[in-house]
Structure 1
Amino acid sequence: MQLVLTYALLAMIATVANIGAQELMIQGYSGKFGVLLSVVVGTGVGLVVKYILDKRYIFRFRARSAVHDTRIFALYSLMGLATTVVFWGFEFGFNHMFETKEMRYMGGVIGLIIGYLVKYQLDKRYVFCQKG
């Protein structure tokens, strides 16, 4: 149960980082591609924050070197592609349906929750698994 609560708390932190980065981008640039750019930047910020938190507090992973850490981060990112499609689908879908920033963010949060539930299983099985 402790792992579930810790994972939920860290997922919330990463979600706030993602949505916060999006809002900062939109405040700075709200032109034709503002929403797309903000979602891309938010995704990048959320990815890095979530990786740092997951590897330390969830999987207690220690890289052997910077090269090893880079490889693990690349695999972590690769595992996140499918979950990113879910997240973006909800966020852009809500944006299209409701046409408000608040509902776009709501879609993003829903997509992130679903994505993080799936991502944990992928990371546990394929990224941070112990190999002999």
Structure 2
Amino acid sequence: MIALRYILFALLSTALNILFQYLSFMLYDGFLSLYIAMFIGTVAGLVLKYILDKKYIFFHTPKSKKDDGKKFFLYSLMGVFTTFIFWGFEIGFDALFIDENAKYVGAVIGLSIGYVVKYFLDKKFVFKD
């Protein structure tokens, strides 16, 4: 059941990430727009995924706001590694393929791989208690 929830949450976070990227491109499509959009999408997906993972995957109840802040920091830190996977695929697909939507395909592939890796990092280092 947890695996199904994790997959659902990964899909929701991926959809939110892509939506925010798309909206970012609608607002600005100039110099470095891909990197700006990736950053905005990453933050949106990160916040949603943290809330869902904390409560429904790892069943963590923060002892205080400080505890929640520490967990979010560690969760984000683990995400740095997986973000490189995601961004690498998105940038790579954007560079390799002419189609405007290729970057989104790369993002979905990179996020899928990254979320699998992230689960194990979070289990071992973030929500270990």
Match of 1:47, as an amino acid? Answer: L
Listed as ranges, the gaps of 5+ residues in structure 1 are none
Residues in 2 aligned to 1:30 and 1:92: alpha-carbon distance in whole angstroms: 15
Report the alpha carbon displacement of residue 34 of structure 1 after superposing the two structures with TM: 1.2
Alignment of 1:1-132 (within 5 A): 2-130=1-129
Report the alpha carbon displacement of residue 97 of structure 1 after superposing the two structures with TM: 0.3
Over the matched positions of the two proteins, sequence identity in percent amounts to 47
Report the alpha carbon displacement of residue 39 of structure 1 after superposing the two structures with TM: 0.5
Residues in 1 aligned to 2:69 and 2:32: alpha-carbon distance in whole angstroms: 30
Report the alpha carbon displacement of residue 101 of structure 1 after superposing the two structures with TM: 2.9
Deviations 1:40-74 (CA, angstroms, capped at 9, x unpaired):
10011111111011001101111111111001000
Number of residue pairs matched? 129
Residues in 2 aligned to 1:114 and 1:39: alpha-carbon distance in whole angstroms: 16
Q: Residue 101 of structure 2: SS of its match in structure 1?
A: helix
Report the alpha carbon displacement of residue 36 of structure 1 after superposing the two structures with TM: 1.0
| Cα-Cα RMSD | 0.7
- After TM superposition, the score normalised by the length of structure 1 is 0.95
- After TM superposition, the score normalised by the length of structure 2 is 0.97
